[in-house]
Amino acid sequence: MKKALMVLEDGQIFKCQSFTGPGEAIGEVVFNTGMSGYQEVLTDPSYRGQLVTMTYPLIGNYGVNPEDIESDHIQVSAFLVKEYQPFHSNYRCEQSLADYLKNAGILGVDNFDTRALTRHIRTQGAMRALISTEDLNPESLLERVKKHPTMNGQDLAKVVSTESPYRWKNGQPDMRPLTLDSSVWEDRSQPCVVVLDFGIKYNILRSLANHGCHIVVVPASTTASDLQNMAPDGIFLSNGPGDPAPVKYAIQTIKDVLDYRPIFGICLGHQLLSLALGAETYKLKFGHRGINQPVRNYATNRIEITSQNHGFAVTQESLQDCNLEMTHINLNDNTVEGFRHRKLPLFAVQYHPEASPGPHDSRYLFNQFINLMNG
């Protein structure tokens, strides 16, 4: 174990120790309230550029395995836990969490007061932080962290998006070269869905495939003309990290296809779709990250427990002038969790209906998307 020190941009100091050896990380520090699913958290592209702390104290007890990844590599900048469990036990485990982080060059620390950090973020808001095992001078760390750019105004979607289009086949990306026209679909007997990748999670693609969709994933910068040349049955707007406002190229693409095919957006895709329709977004104080967020579905008046990971949201007042109807609301803070258009075949939710990790309350949304395409 190696001593480490973290300093927040407001000067707050946290002492801890590294269980992955020497290292350093800088970014926005956030917390996740899930009791499990740390491997999915680590590999979720929506966490790009963030230092993630788990509020559940014991982490690492079931190790890691290649089946539960949500992208092809770890996305977080650092992983902060109260107590790392070095002795893992699970029949699917193939590696310890410490070795998994070490191999990726990601700093993992424990003996960290995660409760105090979470309470501080809830009070003061998410903020930048720098953690290091080499520089243990608080003044030096504070000076450096204040120079680091904030998440506001950064286009992180282009950083995590795929560089080349690919088919999702047999539960994994098929990276053979594709031409973006109607010949891209090998079979049109089932709904053909083009996915705009702003930081897609693998289990979203698994969920679409499990509902009988043929899937082609395209870069975030794909134009409307390319989408129309592909002639899909529907368009899916994925999750992703950071601020939606600077992703202007995607907002323009979405504007150009609003009345072309049914659209389903989640997370960052939900925010980008709202901006394309004329609504507004803003940064939440500390975001929603976890697998236990309660959401009311206005159509059924039922409460759904949802998996979420986002730091921005859509303003409820701005929906009214955009012909949008709010369909879901967060019961913790009354933020917008979903909407649908009153005339066009499009809808979106702020959370992750594929729930990896998390509950399965919202998987019906994929059926709604299928029905729109079939209709």
Mark whether 352 is an active-site residue.
yes
Structure token pair of residue 216: 């082609």
Structure token pair of residue 95: 């590696």
Question: Residue 151's closest CA among 246, 73, 79?
Answer: 246
Would you call 51 helix, strand, or coil by DSSP? strand
Check if the beta carbon of residue 195 is closer than 8 Å to that of residue 264: no
Catalytic residue among 16, 213, 267, 322: 267
Mark whether 267 is an active-site residue.
yes
What angle in degrees, to the nearest 10, is found between the helix axes of 268-276 and 248-256? Answer: 60
Report the half-sphere exposure of 14 (CA within 13 A, side-chain side): 29
Mark whether 93 is an active-site residue.
no
d(CA 17, CA 209): 42
Which H or E run includes 214? strand 214-219
Could you tell me which residues are beta bridge partners of residue 217? 166, 195
Structure token pair of residue 369: 């998307």
The conformational region for residue 134 under phi > 0 = left, psi -120 to 50 = alpha, else beta, is alpha
Q: Cα–Cα–Cα angle for 39, 43, 48, nearest 5°?
A: 135
Question: Residue 57's closest CA among 91, 31, 77?
Answer: 31
Amino acid at 182: S
CA of residue 158 relative to chain centroid, distance = 14
d(CA 205, CA 166): 12
* φ, ψ of residue 174 in degrees (nearest 5): -105, 105
Catalytic residue among 120, 214, 328, 352: 352
The burial class, CB within 10 Å (0-12 / 13-18 / 19+), for 294 is: middle
- In the block, which residue shows the tokens 């009791």? 35
Mention every residue, 6+ apart, whose C-beta is less than 8 A from residue 285: 122, 125, 126
Residues that are catalytic: 267, 352, 354
